[in-house]
A and B are shown apart, each in its own frame.
Chain A
Amino acid sequence: MNKNILYIFILALLYSACEKDDICLLPTTPKLILRFYNNTSQADVKAVDRLSVWAEGKDSISNYRSVTLDSIAIPLNTNTSETIYHFKMNSVDGNIANNTNNTITIKYTTEEVFVSRSCGFKTIFNNVTISSDNNWIQSFTPATLTTIDNETAAHVKIFH
């Protein structure tokens, strides 16, 4: 009888020694997901050629440096209430002279939400408003979002 209790203790110890709360596996601060569509046939996804993305005053995001993609996920600055992004594209060739830039400004309020022991807090973005200088981007939708709290689907459709 005593031996059985001992086994239960050892099993419980083994079971709990490497618990899942030691590693953060849950979603944390969501990125803003943009999906690019064809302006003339708005149901169709259209990749952007030689796209580079950087926030005001920073280097390009390493994953988005002259790449051809139809959707991107960009982080928002949690310390401020505004993030300005520059989107460079070049649909002609690799020459700098043919680059065109577009600026998108995202304004929001931040809210910290507790996730778990190992993940800590995430930031969600409320009352989001998006504006663009519409250079190579023709239009986008929606211009306002009540909240960005997940990464399950694209938040904004961009037409070009």
Chain B
Amino acid sequence: MLKYFISFYFALTALSGFSQADVKKDTIGYTSAYGLRIGVDISKPIMGMLDSNSSGIEFIADYRIAKKWYVAAEFGQQEETTKEDYTNSTAKGTFIKVGINYNAYQNWLDMTNEIYVGIRYGTSLFDQTLNSYTSNTGSEYFTANPITTPVTSTGLSAHWTEFVMGLKVETFKNLYLGFGFSYKIMLSLEHPKNFKTLYVPGFNRVFETETGFGFNYTISYTIPFVNK
């Protein structure tokens, strides 16, 4: 009985070897688009409509260099009026941020959605105008008259790093809706004489610790160069 059992086993082995050799490699792979993605931040025009102290535009672009890696950039211009208790000032200028994104999302099949983290280097060239101010007298007894002669400092610059995270969802073929959040740390910042840079285009409000926050809502489109 055992003799037949072993023979049968060998027969099975041969059969399995045969079937292995016969299997063809699956050639129906899933490809996804590699290309230049360009877009615009839709939150800035909306904020500009709701808030008369803010106006600006930001474009975004990224280029996929590897399965999970993108070279990314944001650039634009911003004009923002900062109203504080004793000062009113306007910052106006252009900015650019460049860096990389890593897509941490494991896509199904040929989908190219993203949950990304990334870093940026950002720089801005801007003017700052002190529109008006009132001396803080620290007492109610005498009230100071406001000084309304604007003072403008031109050609101020700022350099910073950003940590970004966000998501991009493909809603139609090659069309993405995205949301991103950034935490910024200032590296170098120029201040006007006898005043302070309170807002930097692209960096937003400069906090006391020289850090900042930002977010964007984007619509972007991929111009596919190659599918792989």
> Cβ of A114 and Cβ of B195 under 8 Å apart?
yes
Q: Could you say which of A1, A6, A29, A116 contacts B135, with CB atoms under 8 Å apart?
A: A29
Q: Could you say which of B104, B139, B181, B213 contacts A2, with CB atoms under 8 Å apart?
A: B104
Interface residues of A in 99-139 (CB under 8 A from B): 112-123
Interface residues of B in 184-228 (CB under 8 A from A): 194-196, 198, 207-209, 211, 213
Kindly state the separation between the CA atoms of A120 and B130 in the bound complex, as whole angstroms: 11
> Cβ of A112 and Cβ of B194 under 8 Å apart?
yes
Q: Could you say which of B138, B165, B181 contacts A29, with CB atoms under 8 Å apart?
A: B138
Question: Does B84 lie at the interface of the complex (its beta carbon under 8 Å from any beta carbon of A)?
Answer: yes
> Cβ of A117 and Cβ of B135 under 8 Å apart?
no
Q: Could you say which of A5, A21, A55, A121 contacts B136, with CB atoms under 8 Å apart?
A: A121
Question: Does A77 lie at the interface of the complex (its beta carbon under 8 Å from any beta carbon of B)?
Answer: yes
Number of interface residues of A (CB under 8 A): 37
Asked whether A79 and B136 contact (CB < 8 A) given A116-B196, A119-B86, the answer is no
How many Å from the CB of A89 to the closest CB on chain B?
Answer: 20
> Cβ of B104 and Cβ of A117 under 8 Å apart?
no
Size category of the B interface is 20 to 34
Stretch at the interface among B28-36, B60-68, B141-149: B141-149
Q: Could you say which of B141, B207, B208, B211 contacts A58, with CB atoms under 8 Å apart?
A: B141
> Is chain B's binding surface mostly helix, strand, loop or mixed?
loop
- In the complex, what residues of A have CB within 8 A of residue B147's CB? 112
> Cβ of B135 and Cβ of A112 under 8 Å apart?
yes
> Cβ of A118 and Cβ of B142 under 8 Å apart?
no
- In the complex, what residues of A have CB within 8 A of residue B22's CB? none
> Is chain A's binding surface mostly helix, strand, loop or mixed?
mixed
> Cβ of A16 and Cβ of B84 under 8 Å apart?
no
Asked whether A120 and B87 contact (CB < 8 A) given A78-B142, A78-B144, A79-B144, the answer is yes
- In the complex, what residues of A have CB within 8 A of residue B104's CB? 1-2
- Chain A residue at minimal CB-CB distance from B205: A117
> Cβ of A2 and Cβ of B117 under 8 Å apart?
yes
Asked whether A120 and B136 contact (CB < 8 A) given A12-B211, A16-B213, the answer is yes
- In the complex, what residues of A have CB within 8 A of residue B135's CB? 29, 78, 112, 120-123
- In the complex, what residues of A have CB within 8 A of residue B198's CB? 117
- In the complex, what residues of B have CB within 8 A of residue A113's CB? 194
Question: Does B75 lie at the interface of the complex (its beta carbon under 8 Å from any beta carbon of A)?
Answer: no
Q: Could you say which of A6, A31, A76 contacts B165, with CB atoms under 8 Å apart?
A: A6
> Cβ of A16 and Cβ of B211 under 8 Å apart?
yes
Indicate with 1 or 0, residue by residue over A1-28, a CB within 8 angstroms of chain B CB atoms: 1100110110011001001110010011
> Cβ of A20 and Cβ of B117 under 8 Å apart?
no
Kindly state the separation between the CA atoms of A75 and B142 in the bound complex, as whole angstroms: 7
Question: Does B133 lie at the interface of the complex (its beta carbon under 8 Å from any beta carbon of A)?
Answer: yes
- In the complex, what residues of B have CB within 8 A of residue A121's CB? 86-87, 133-136
**6 nearest interchain CB pairs?**
A120-B86, A21-B208, A28-B138, A28-B136, A75-B139, A123-B135
Hey, which bits of chain B sit against chain A, CB under 8 A?
A: 84-87, 104, 115, 117, 133-139, 141-142, 144-145, 147, 163, 165, 181, 183, 194-196, 198, 207-209, 211, 213
A-B contact pairs, 29 of them (CB 8 A): A2-B104, A2-B117, A8-B163, A9-B183, A16-B211, A19-B208, A24-B85, A24-B136, A27-B138, A29-B137, A31-B139, A75-B141, A75-B142, A77-B142, A78-B135, A78-B142, A79-B145, A114-B194, A114-B195, A114-B196, A117-B84, A118-B85, A120-B84, A120-B85, A120-B86, A120-B87, A120-B134, A120-B135, A121-B133
- Having A114-B196, A115-B136, one finds 4 other A-B pairs with CB under 8 Å, namely A9-B165, A13-B183, A20-B208, A123-B144
